[in-house]
Structure 1
Amino acid sequence: MLYLILKLIYKLGLWVFFRRFEVRNRHLMPDRGPLLVVSNHPNTFMDPIVTASLLRQPVYFIAKSTLFGSGLQNRMLRQMHLIPIHRREDNPGQAISNEEAFAASSVALQQHKTLLIFPEGNSFNQRRLRKIKTGTARIALEALSAGAADLRILPVGLNYTAPTRFRSDVFVNVGEPVAVAEYVAACQQDGQETVLALTEEIRKRLEGLIIHTPTDEEDELARQVEILYKGRLAADAPSDAPAHLQDFLLTRAIVSSINYFSQKDPVRVAALKQKLGDYMEQLRRLRLRDEAMGLRRDTVLQQSLLRVLFLVLGLPVYGYGLLHNYLPYIIPAKAARAATHEEEWHAPIMLTVGIFTFPLFYLLEVWLARELLQLSWAWTTLHLLSLPLSGFFTLYYWGTLRRTREHWLLLRLFVKRQDLVSSLRRQRQEIVTELEAAKADYLAQASPDS
């Protein structure tokens, strides 16, 4: 019961927290077990919430043993379907035995339940897949030998645009399930080799469902190329693909091409990285974004005037929304920063705290308004509906205010520092020209699969 209540609450919280929540191949997600769901792990507690919200059946989770404590805490965590597992890094100097967790996982799968595992072990806020541990394959093969004949492994790739930011996007990429029964014969011949083979298959499946950048340096370069060049590549994306899938495929293509040139022509990559870094640093100092540099002066002026008009007309609604939503909005962010310095935990903490702060503040505000103003039930209902709507408007208004400020900075540069604007645009065009040449070379020389 506790699991079902929390699932319902968190599904509503996810709808609010993310601006876009997109799922590819949702039809590949079985609605019954035995099923072993495996996923990458970039966003700590947010990852199981996102994945479990998409599955109709109850989901059981492998969790690190340090989460478990007193008897009451243990009972609550088990009511939430958590199975403890002991990790060497959590218990330094102690003998490690996961036999109990492995046995519990195997029993759950034999009972046709669904189990969610993050085979990387730890969570890292990075766009890459780390080393896959063999425990997942061992659990699957053990459950299969114990009677879970129809056991499948479902790979799920989680792709966040900004894992720690409110109103960011998440793209869930579901892969084809792996039938564990196909490994029976091999397991009978060589159990350890089969564990390694199944682990490698899981790694390949997951890596194909996410953005995988081998190093932080390549990831930074890929992000800079995305900012400057992804829009131009959009014409090459499959026209029948939805926007979120196009965006994913374009990013994958950019990462693949960087990896290709890093091996074939590292000098070229280093030169491009230097030019992009210099250009982006100048924009940062000027508090501008690249998208503004592609606009003409008259376009910037026209957009700025329209936005100023919107800001003036929308100011009363913004004030109303800010008054009613500031505290429930800022408390989760403050709580996340106070609780931990690890960015990976900020999003799930904000989501969890926000699930309580917004309803509590909204109910308190509605009650106060009804008591003080003697509102009818009709006006009370309208007041309640206006609170979240005005909150979303306030976020949009704030974003518009920031973009307008950026445009006015650019207009000032047009007037006072035209030479600087021209220099930045020349740098930008040189980089784009190099990227166009690299694209042509990559398409000409790379393999068809790439």
Structure 2
Amino acid sequence: MLYAILKMIYRLGLRVFFRRLEVRNRHLIPDQGPLLVVSNHPNTFMDPIVTASLLRQPVFFIAKSTVFGSGFQNWMLRQMHLIPIHRREDNPDQPVSNEEAFTASFRALRQGKTLLIFPEGNSYNQRRLRKVKTGTARIALGAEAAAAATLGVRILPVGLNYSDPTRFRSDVFVNVGEPIQVAAYASAYEQDGQAAAQALTDTIRQRLESLIIHTPTDEEDALARQVEALYKDQLAAAIPIPAPEHIRDFLLTKAIVRGINYFSQTAPEQVAALKHDIHQYTLQLRRLRLHDALLGKGRSTVLGRSAFGLFLLLLGLPLYLYGLLHNYLPYIIPSRVARAATKEEEWYAPIMLTVGIFSFPLFYALEAWLLWEWLQPPFYKLMLYLLSLPLSGFFALGYWNTLLHTQAHWLLLRLFFRRRNVVEELRKQRQCIIVQLEQARQAYMAQQEGE
């Protein structure tokens, strides 16, 4: 019962927290077990919330033993379907035994249940897959072997791709892969259990890497993000992909990462020169508080958008103040709590989501009660007031983003009139970078066609 209630609450919370939650290949998700769901782990507690929300059936979670504690805490966590597993890094001075966790996992799979495992073990806010541990494969193969390869255990790989894991109203793209039939490894497991477990683990790793943006190093990831910002729109025009926007963006980013990886190995000097040029260009933008997207626009376009943005800001100011007044405290409290509770970025989003689930309803209820006590309006007006609170909150957030965009346009417009030579120099730098990227794309495409 507790699990069902929490799942319903968090599903609603996800719709509010994320601007877009897109799922690719939802039809590949089985609605019954025995099933092991495996995923990358960039965003701590947010990852199981997002993944479990997609499955119709109840999900049982393999969790590190350190989250368990007192008797009541253990009871609560087990009601939430958590199964403890011991990791060597949690208790390096003690022998590790996961016999209880494996036994519980085998039993759950025999009963046709669904387990969720993050085979990397730890959560890191990085766009890459870290080393995949063999525990998932050992659980799946052990359960299948105990049933003489007749249980039908499947492993479902799920890739989680966050646009900005720590930011409210960001995007998440969930990429679901083809299920892996564990019975296909049963005969190999009988001959050499360790080799079969490693082979299945390698398959899991390959499937997950194909479902996420995987950058080998932080340097390559930083360069990939900069190239995305500068070149993705032009790349999309050069390589039209007949797919929804979220899938197209994912495929384009994968192509950019592959290109960077290729040139890092074949032409490191060229990559180093590109990184230097991009660094100098972005440094100038930061100093001038400008955004790259603005530099491709002409002065008349910037002037028109600046005027239109100012008009919208003046028109919407009363509603913005109304939304700000009623939503600022419940909006800011989750962020403050997250930053007070931890210094680890990976925990910010799940803490903000959890606190926000309570802060917004409590403040809305308090505001409605105060209105009732002071004015005693008719019931339908009270309901309209309640409805206006979240709507005005979303409007206030959009208004703030419009304000930032308009401010950026006015900054560029001021440069047009006062320091036009600076704008022209930045545009030359940008064009030089775009030419380098386009030449690299053509060289990469030629190389791919020649193979």
TM-score by length of 1: 0.99
Q: Tell me how far apart the structure 1 counterparts of residues 109 and 241 of structure 2 sit (CA, whole Å).
A: 41
1:59-98 paired onto structure 2 within 5 Å:
59-98=59-98
Residue 170, structure 1, aligned to residue 172, structure 2: yes
Q: Tell me how far apart the structure 2 counterparts of residues 268 and 447 of structure 1 sit (CA, whole Å).
A: 21
Corresponding residue of 1:351: 353
User: After TM superposition, where is structure 1 displaced by more than 3 Å over at least 4 residues in a row?
Assistant: 236-239
Please state how far the C-alpha of 1:149 moved relative to its aligned partner: 1.4
Residue 50, structure 1, aligned to residue 50, structure 2: yes
Q: Tell me how far apart the structure 2 counterparts of residues 367 and 315 of structure 1 sit (CA, whole Å).
A: 26
Q: Tell me how far apart the structure 2 counterparts of residues 271 and 238 of structure 1 sit (CA, whole Å).
A: 28
Q: Tell me how far apart the structure 1 counterparts of residues 101 and 31 of structure 2 sit (CA, whole Å).
A: 24
1:304-323 paired onto structure 2 within 5 Å:
304-323=306-325
Corresponding residue of 2:153: 151
Q: Which amino acid aligns with 1:141?
A: L
More deviation, 439-448/227-236:
439-448
Q: Which amino acid aligns with 2:158?
A: V
Q: Tell me how far apart the structure 1 counterparts of residues 221 and 271 of structure 2 sit (CA, whole Å).
A: 13
Answer whether contact 1:19 1:168 (CA < 8 A) is retained.
yes
Q: What root-mean-square deviation, in Å, do the aligned CA atoms of Structure 1 and Structure 2 show?
A: 1.0
Cα 1:122–1:397 change in 2 (3 A) is same
Q: Tell me how far apart the structure 2 counterparts of residues 197 and 247 of structure 1 sit (CA, whole Å).
A: 31
Q: Tell me how far apart the structure 1 counterparts of residues 338 and 274 of structure 2 sit (CA, whole Å).
A: 37
Answer whether contact 1:155 1:202 (CA < 8 A) is retained.
yes
Corresponding residue of 1:442: 444
Please state how far the C-alpha of 1:240 moved relative to its aligned partner: 2.6
Q: What SS does structure 2 have at the residue aligned with 1:36?
A: strand
Corresponding residue of 1:242: 244
Corresponding residue of 1:402: 404
Q: Tell me how far apart the structure 1 counterparts of residues 186 and 407 of structure 2 sit (CA, whole Å).
A: 63
Answer whether contact 1:35 1:113 (CA < 8 A) is retained.
yes
Corresponding residue of 2:371: 369
Q: Which amino acid aligns with 1:417?
A: R
Please state how far the C-alpha of 1:168 moved relative to its aligned partner: 0.2
Q: What SS does structure 1 have at the residue aligned with 2:94?
A: coil
Cα 1:312–1:160 change in 2 (3 A) is same
Q: Tell me how far apart the structure 1 counterparts of residues 280 and 93 of structure 2 sit (CA, whole Å).
A: 47
Please state how far the C-alpha of 1:89 moved relative to its aligned partner: 1.4
Q: Tell me how far apart the structure 1 counterparts of residues 86 and 208 of structure 2 sit (CA, whole Å).
A: 24
Please state how far the C-alpha of 1:103 moved relative to its aligned partner: 1.2
Residue 411, structure 1, aligned to residue 410, structure 2: no
Residue 109, structure 1, aligned to residue 109, structure 2: yes
Q: Which amino acid aligns with 1:44?
A: T
Corresponding residue of 2:3: 3
Answer whether contact 1:173 1:210 (CA < 8 A) is retained.
yes
Corresponding residue of 2:267: 265
Cα 1:361–1:421 change in 2 (3 A) is same
Cα 1:447–1:37 change in 2 (3 A) is farther
Per-residue displacement from partner, 1:357-397 (whole Å, max 9, x unpaired)? 00010111111112211111110111011000000000000
Corresponding residue of 1:338: 340
More deviation, 212-221/234-243:
234-243
Please state how far the C-alpha of 1:447 moved relative to its aligned partner: 5.9
Q: What SS does structure 2 have at the residue aligned with 1:37?
A: strand
Q: Tell me how far apart the structure 2 counterparts of residues 281 and 136 of structure 1 sit (CA, whole Å).
A: 45
Residue 283, structure 1, aligned to residue 285, structure 2: yes
Corresponding residue of 2:426: 424
Q: Tell me how far apart the structure 2 counterparts of residues 165 and 379 of structure 1 sit (CA, whole Å).
A: 34
Q: Tell me how far apart the structure 2 counterparts of residues 447 and 354 of structure 1 sit (CA, whole Å).
A: 51
Structure 2: unaligned runs, 5 residues or longer? none
Residue 299, structure 1, aligned to residue 314, structure 2: no
TM-score by length of 2: 0.98
Q: Which amino acid aligns with 1:234?
A: A
Residue 274, structure 1, aligned to residue 276, structure 2: yes
Corresponding residue of 2:41: 41
Per-residue displacement from partner, 1:172-201 (whole Å, max 9, x unpaired)? 000000000001111111111001000000
Structure 1: unaligned runs, 5 residues or longer? none
Q: Which amino acid aligns with 2:60?
A: Y
Q: Tell me how far apart the structure 1 counterparts of residues 181 and 287 of structure 2 sit (CA, whole Å).
A: 53
Residue 133, structure 1, aligned to residue 150, structure 2: no
Q: What SS does structure 1 have at the residue aligned with 2:211?
A: coil
Corresponding residue of 1:202: 204
Answer whether contact 1:333 1:350 (CA < 8 A) is retained.
yes
Q: Percent identity?
A: 70
Please state how far the C-alpha of 1:285 moved relative to its aligned partner: 1.1
User: How many residues in Structure 1 have an aligned counterpart in Structure 2?
Assistant: 449
Residue 226, structure 1, aligned to residue 199, structure 2: no
Corresponding residue of 1:182: 184
Please state how far the C-alpha of 1:99 moved relative to its aligned partner: 1.2
Cα 1:4–1:372 change in 2 (3 A) is same
Cα 1:260–1:239 change in 2 (3 A) is closer
